[in-house]
Amino acid sequence: MGGFIARYAIIGLGKIGTAIAKSLIKSGVDPSSISGSVRRVESINRVGRELPGVFVSTNNAEVVKDADVVILAVKPYQVLDALMPIRGVLNSDQLLISVVAGVTTGIIEGLVPSKVVRAMPNIGIVIERGVTAIAPGSRASEDDVKRACGIFGSMGRCVVVNERYMDAITAISGSGPAFIALILEALWEAGLLLGIPTDISWELAVGTLETSAELLRFKRPWEVVEEVTTPGGVTIRGIKVAEEGGLRGLIMRMIEETARRGDEISREIEESIRSKISD
């Protein structure tokens, strides 16, 4: 490597952007090699306390000018405002990794000269247990993909996918923690309904979720169902209610609708960008 030290820029030090910065530092990156931007001046001190040694500014151009890797971590409708002022600062040697939901690599490649990789991490990266899908843009090389996987692999697990799956992946792993949280909350509240004390019900619900997740890394769902369920027993009674209520179909519709919204956002943003550029 010849002593080469990569420099990182993070546009948008919100929850995900800050988690990425913290993970980079924990993996051995010197904080002085990281720059990041915030939208409001009053956020600089707050982020500075969370990320000591990291350069923080409201000026995106100042943040990205010397970076080797630029990570775009803004909200979908902020993409144009974030990139247009710096498109002349970015260059074709830089790798831009976008973690913006619903925004394709094609949209971003139309705005900047950089190589682009799209990443969809989930909230688990804040505890280094995330799952991140990586999709390369048309200008990204295999080494660029490996670099992106190296970054997000330090925050959990990483898979490389074709970009056409990204809306579905966003619905499953990106939005999935919220859906799982709803199920967990229902388990906890069911315990309360049956008279179990609040703290005990919560511990049982969380523990059951953790145990189930570990089991399902080695077994298929139907195998776990078979092992837990006995003829005429208690579990089959609950499964009957789930089937009568269409639980599996409901969950599939949740994911389907979430993915559809991702596609809508992508189309809306693409149309908005084309409209603003042509004005």
Looking from the CA of 234 toward its CB, the CA atoms found within 13 Å total: 1
C-alpha distances in angstroms, 228 versus 215, 221, 247, 262, 269?
A: 12, 11, 18, 36, 47
Distances (CA, A) of 278 to 78, 85, 227, 273: 18, 16, 61, 8
* Span 26-81, pLDDT tens digits: 989 999 999 999 998 888 888 889 999 999 999 999 999 889 999 999 998 899 88
Global pTM value: 0.88
Within 10 angstroms of residue 206's Cβ, the number of other Cβ atoms is: 13
Per-residue pLDDT tens over the stretch 227-268: 999 999 999 999 999 999 999 999 999 999 999 998 888 888
